[in-house]
Amino acid sequence: MIHAAIKPDLDLKNEVSDFKRRRIREEACGLFYEMGYERTTLDAIAKRLKVTKPFLYKHYDNKGELLYEICRTGIALSLDAVSAACAQPRTATERLQGLAESVLGVIFEYQKFIVVYTREEKNLRPEEAREIREQRKLFDHQLAELLREGDQTGEFKISDPLLTANTIGGVITWIALWYSSDGKRSKLAILTHALEMISTIVAASQPLHSRSVLPEQPANLSAIKSGIAKRGGADE
């Protein structure tokens, strides 16, 4: 009976701690995006959150730990979108279209995380950078396997699936670096153009066509931002 009474309090305490860490991470990501990692200080993060620097130290040991979790979030969001698209019981062409739509959807919704992960990975510790690179390899290899399947079925014409996967990944990731919600091009226009480029790259027998609206993000994506540090046994 005592344990049953205590457990809800413990759960609430963990939820509050998770919320605080998530808010710190989000504001730090915003500042890294705006100012760059090296120019952003913990004082600036504390000021943005209207808290003290000791408050930050209760949840993160240093600025580098924040960058690490932000990078893990960025690659995990993309990797989950790829995995979900590749697992669909559809043709290779349909899965490639769904993959592009899902990853671009992640970029539009979580652009700051994707940009910081792409731009600031160089500031990670060597072992952390290796982990992120391994996760990115999973992204490339899953996409390459999809392209290889499409080549075997005659839907695509590809001589080097992995190199082609790297090229497509580069095309999609580059969009995160220049996209602006205030820009002249709509999300749908960008998606349409990206699909046209990908169709050309894979020499698709049936061109990839955009939908009239962007697909909804997989339900688990919202959980990634709040629970990313739980992966690999990290404390969130």
Task: Flag whether 236 is in a domain.
Answer: no
Residue 71 has phi, psi (to 5 degrees) of -65, -40
Max mean pLDDT among 34-38, 184-188, 210-214 falls in: 34-38
Tell me what the pLDDT averaged over the chain comes to: 86
pLDDT of residue 203 exceeding 50, the answer is yes
pLDDT of residue 212 exceeding 90, the answer is no
Q: What's the confidence (pLDDT) of residue 210?
A: 59
Q: What is the mean pLDDT of residues 124-147?
A: 95
Q: What's the confidence (pLDDT) of residue 14?
A: 82
8 Å CB contact between 79 and 139: yes
Q: What is the extent of the structural domain holding 98?
A: 2-230
Closest CA relative to residue 111, chosen from 178, 48, 47, 186: 178
Q: What's the confidence (pLDDT) of residue 211?
A: 55
Task: Flag whether 178 is in a domain.
Answer: yes
Task: Flag whether 48 is in a domain.
Answer: yes
Q: What is the pLDDT of residues 5-52, one digit of tens each?
A: 545 566 887 888 889 999 999 999 999 999 999 999 999 999 999 999
Measured between alpha carbons, how far is residue 225 from residues 4, 21, 22, 150, 173 in Å? Answer: 29, 10, 7, 32, 19
Task: Flag whether 158 is in a domain.
Answer: yes
- In this structure, how many other beta carbons lie within 10 angstroms of the beta carbon of residue 171? 15
pLDDT of residue 156 exceeding 50, the answer is yes
- Report how far residue 52's alpha carbon sits from residue 95's, in angstroms, rounded to the nearest whole number: 47
8 Å CB contact between 132 and 72: yes
Task: Flag whether 235 is in a domain.
Answer: no
8 Å CB contact between 36 and 19: no
Q: Is 194 exposed, middle or buried (0-12, 13-18, 19+ CB in 10 A)?
A: buried
How many domains are contained in the chain? Answer: 1
Q: What's the confidence (pLDDT) of residue 224?
A: 47
Q: What is the pLDDT of residues 89-125, one digit of tens each?
A: 999 999 999 999 999 999 999 999 999 999 999 999 9
- The residue type of 216 is E
Q: What is the mean pLDDT of residues 209-230?
A: 48
Token pair for residue 206? 């049936």
Residues in CB range of 232: below 8 A, 6 or more apart: 131
- pTM listed for this prediction: 0.80
Residues in CB range of 227: below 8 A, 6 or more apart: 18, 236
Q: What's the confidence (pLDDT) of residue 230?
A: 46
8 Å CB contact between 173 and 118: yes
Token pair for residue 209? 């066509």
The rounded percent of the chain whose pLDDT value lies above 70 is 83
- The residue type of 168 is I
Q: What's the confidence (pLDDT) of residue 12?
A: 81
- Report how far residue 29's alpha carbon sits from residue 110's, in angstroms, rounded to the nearest whole number: 10
* CATH code of the domain in which 58 resides: 1.10.357.10
What band does 183 get if pLDDT is binned at 50, 70 and 90? Answer: confident
